[in-house]
Amino acid sequence: MDDAKIKQLCRLLSANERREIVDGLKALRSLNAPQTVPMVLPLLNSPQENGVRDCCRTLTVLGNKEIVSSVEPLLSNSNAANRKDAQDAIDKLRAKP
């Protein structure tokens, strides 16, 4: 996928509809587009629990060890599922070369 199409896909990340955001995150997981990580990181602060979880999963695929510190605050999130996905993401990111 070329950069123009990736940019278009990333527009979904700022949609008002939760489903569009999640669809965008899921689509990004299937691409080799680590350049999109800066656009995904703000979604770690999403008020929607599923959005946070999908964000962690996407960052696990696209990110590297350098973003672990951005995910770590979720380890004290009030939602147990968010904490688990954050811990899973951290573990997998740290294991990357």
In order, the DSSP letters of 45-82 are G-SSHHHHHHHHHHHHHH--GGGHHHHGGGGG-S-HHH
Question: Which two tokens mark 71?
Answer: 């995910």
In the chain, what are the domain boundaries? 3-95
3-95, what's its fold?
Answer: Leucine-rich Repeat Variant (1.25.10)
Q: Which of 46, 38, 40 is nearest to 77 (CA)?
A: 46
> Which helix (H) or strand (E) segment is 29 a member of?
helix 18-29
Per residue in 12-37, pLDDT (tens digit) is: 999 989 899 999 999 999 998 999 99
What is the per-residue pLDDT for 85? 97
> 44, 74 in Cβ contact below 8 A?
yes
pLDDT for residue 93 is more than 90? yes
Q: Cα Rg for the chain, rounded, in angstroms?
A: 13
Give the pTM: 0.91
